[in-house]
Amino acid sequence: MGKSRIKGDLDRYEVHAQAGNSKVDLVFTRGAPSWRPGPGITYMDRKKTKYFAWVVAVPYGKVEGELTYEGKTWHVTGTGYHDHNWGNIGPGMALDHWYWGRAHVGDFSVIFAQMITAKVPGMGNLKLPVFYLARGQEILTDDGLPLSMVTRDFVEGPGGRTYPTSVDLYWETVEGKVSLALRNPKLIESIDILESLPRWERPIVHLFAKPYYYDFNADLEMKVDLRGVKADEKGTALYELMMLR
């Protein structure tokens, strides 16, 4: 893409982005196994013609490189994540809302999601849970079906929407159990999905829909007792709430 480029093989990515006098040169090194939930495709109709898909190339990785802007260059190190979505149906046509989040605490990398579909005739709203837990280079589980979520203590946020300040996730089978407690969320971004519409149209659309996006950093406590692995970890998690209705 002009002078910008990316080169990678799942294990290592080289990224160069350039705009004017600013540029980015970063190397992402994967630190947890690449993954997709099941086949990676969720069909939204009986004929299997409408779908959305998701793959997580780098659930967790290390990043190192240089940032150049305002005539200065900084050497940087940190952590990174890379996933990709595609499909032939807009999220607003298939989903009511979703929670999605990720974290890396101790030796563990975790990804979770709870997607709620738009009302399906005869069935109402359906829950589509997703869960990934790896320790180092070993995936401990990627079975999302046992995952449940409890949200409590809602407060008002931007755009007249609300969000929970307590989010608990529970995963349990005969093989073991995992729990995640998200607390003290700090709102780092909020977006009115309709802000790209002409100003005069927004009040009209808002009469029957208020799509909004929230992004948070939160305190995380994770307990793992699964397949002989026992741990109690504390750290931070990044998670989002996308409200499409």
- Write out the chain's pLDDT in tens, 245 residues: 888 999 999 999 999 999 988 999 999 999 999 999 988 998 888 888 989 899 999 999 999 999 999 889 999 999 999 999 999 988 777 888 999 999 999 999 999 999 998 876 665 788 999 999 999 999 999 999 999 999 999 999 998 899 999 999 999 999 999 999 999 999 999 998 777 777 766 676 666 668 899 999 999 999 999 999 999 999 999 999 999 88
Please indicate, yes or no, whether residues 162 and 132 belong to a single structural domain of this protein: yes
CATH label of the domain that carries residue 56: 2.40.370.10
Q: What angle do CA 174, 177, 178 make, to 5 degrees?
A: 155
Q: Is 240 exposed, middle or buried (0-12, 13-18, 19+ CB in 10 A)?
A: middle
Please indicate, yes or no, whether residues 12 and 113 belong to a single structural domain of this protein: no
Domain that holds residue 47: 1-87
Please indicate, yes or no, whether residues 134 and 149 belong to a single structural domain of this protein: yes
Please indicate, yes or no, whether residues 83 and 95 belong to a single structural domain of this protein: no
Percent over 70 (pLDDT), the chain: 94
Please indicate, yes or no, whether residues 53 and 174 belong to a single structural domain of this protein: no
SS (H, E, C) 167-224: EEEEEEECCEEEEEEEEEEEEEEEEECCCCCCCCCHHHHHCCCCCEEEEEEEEEEEEE
Please indicate, yes or no, whether residues 33 and 105 belong to a single structural domain of this protein: no
Chain segment 195-211, per-residue pLDDT in tens: 777 776 667 666 666 88
CATH label of the domain that carries residue 225: 2.40.370
| pLDDT at residue 121, as a whole number | 67
Could you say which of 60, 87, 114 is where a domain stops? 87
Please indicate, yes or no, whether residues 74 and 134 belong to a single structural domain of this protein: no
Could you say which of 40, 68, 87 is where a domain stops? 87
| pLDDT at residue 118, as a whole number | 82
pTM: 0.90
Could you say which of 57, 87, 117 is where a domain stops? 87
Specify the number of domains making up the chain. Answer: 2
Please indicate, yes or no, whether residues 127 and 74 belong to a single structural domain of this protein: no
Please indicate, yes or no, whether residues 172 and 238 belong to a single structural domain of this protein: yes
Please indicate, yes or no, whether residues 97 and 124 belong to a single structural domain of this protein: yes
Neighbours of 205 (CB within 10 A): 13
Please indicate, yes or no, whether residues 102 and 210 belong to a single structural domain of this protein: yes
| pLDDT at residue 42, as a whole number | 86
Please indicate, yes or no, whether residues 73 and 121 belong to a single structural domain of this protein: no
| pLDDT at residue 19, as a whole number | 92
Chain segment 60-97, per-residue pLDDT in tens: 999 999 999 988 999 999 999 999 999 998 877 788 89
